[in-house]
Amino acid sequence: MAHERIEIDLPLAKVYELLSNPVYFPNFMERIDEVEKVNSQTFKFKTKIGGEDFEWTSNVIDNLRNTRFAWITINGNLNQTGTLRFTPLDNGERTRVDFSLDYRTFYGEPEEDLAKFIEELPEQIGKDLARFKEMAEAGTFREETADSDESSAEEKEVTV
């Protein structure tokens, strides 16, 4: 389990809005390749670790607006649980984000590449949160979505 904390110079409602949609996670989480929304509570994650494809489906288990957002894996070949907690600072003008993330295998010990992926998690989520802070504060938070009819991706800017 990895835990990191960061302070963002944006109002709590805006930070919550950006971080409570897993579809945006690949924009700042280096080791998540794609997140597809299945329905309002279910998301399919994809990544590649050591040349092997990993896919898992997660359900949102806690979505307390402007306070907490959490999810757990319900199936797939990698078990991920995550929690984001939001705390207002300076009368709501700034926001502290606490991010807890855990990866596990469903069965047995992880192979070498996956073990390294898990071992490096604390350092990685620190980098990911720093990337999110930079993008969000600069107003350049972007969403890449695949065009459903073409294989190319287009970028759409999300204003902050």
Would you state the pLDDT for residue 142? 53
HSE-CB at 134 with a 13 A cutoff on CA atoms is 9
Section 12-17 average pLDDT: 94
105 close to 114: Cβ distance less than 8 angstroms: yes
The CATH number linked to 113 is 3.30.530.20
The pairing of beta strand 153-157 with beta strand 142-146? antiparallel
Number of domains making up the chain: 1
The pLDDT tens digits for 94-130 are 999 999 999 988 888 899 999 999 999 999 999 999 9
The pLDDT tens digits for 53-72 are 999 999 999 999 999 999 99
The pLDDT tens digits for 29-57 are 999 999 999 999 999 999 999 999 999 99
User: Could you give phi then psi for residue 115, rounded to 5 degrees?
Assistant: -60, -40
Residue 110 amino acid letter: P
Full-model pTM: 0.85
